[in-house]
Amino acid sequence: MIILWRMFLSHLLADFTLQFDVVNRMKRKNVWGMLVHCFTHFFVSVALTSQFLNQTWVTIGHYPVSGWGSLVIMLVLHFVIDQLRVFGMKRMRFKDGTVSFLADQFLHLFVLFMVSPIDFPGGDSFLAEKWTAIACMFVLVTHVSTVLIYFVEKEIFGKDFPTFDEKYFLMFERLVLWAFFFVGGCWWLPVTALWLAQLFYVRKKRIIDLSTVNISLSLAITLALGLWTRYIYYGSLCW
């Protein structure tokens, strides 16, 4: 599972962390912007899986496909999927909302799963490498959560994408809460409770305007990923 998790990490980094606002706008305007985005994804994948690229990853029919071949297939399909989403929004007036976002991510992850070897020497466990899994959790807690919560609030309240201050304040809140799950023993429970209390205090005092939906989703996502991260790191929830 080493390659699968590294490919998942490359997807998270390229589709969220490294997809800056300017890149997102460019890829919706013309094919060159889309190519910049897709090749960013390709090069991040190469960097994270470089030691495995000359080995066979999958077999299509009777033909073995190396890591290089798998990444080229993924590059082409990534371009097609994203172009279809842009085409649907521009020409067919499909709504750019939660459903389209989740469908887009599902298709990308399906392709990633199909081109990655599931069983690979040195990767016979589900997580294979702690650092890769924890890095994935980090990106999910920060950038992926920001985009998901934005789409949900957009559907309900018609909100715009959060401003720079709001975006990074909320990312910081989730990140600190997530980091508490690395605290040894059972001390993570009281410190987590205290941080949750201050978050509700911030909302009550209107230091920053947070909706109930935002707070609920932020906490649910962070707590779930925090528990999963703690289990990855320690092998149990109370160590």
- CA gap 112, 146 in Å, rounded: 22
> pLDDT tens digit string along 153-185?
999 988 888 887 778 888 998 999 899 888 887
| Structure tokens that stand for 71 in this block | 């990444």
Number of CB atoms found within 10 A of residue 79's CB: 19
> pLDDT tens digit string along 200-235?
777 776 667 778 888 889 889 999 999 999 888 888
> pLDDT tens digit string along 20-31?
888 888 988 889
Q: Where are the domains of the chain?
A: 2-125, 133-234
- CA gap 42, 108 in Å, rounded: 13
Residue 88's contacts (CB-CB under 8 Å, 6 or more residues apart) are 94, 100
C-alpha gyration radius of the chain: 19
CA distances from 82 to 50, 105, 130, 166 (A): 25, 10, 30, 28
pTM, two decimals, is 0.90
Q: What is the pLDDT of residue 127?
A: 65
Q: What is the pLDDT of residue 207?
A: 65
pLDDT band at 124 (very low <50, low <70, confident <90, very high): very low
| Structure tokens that stand for 220 in this block | 């649910």
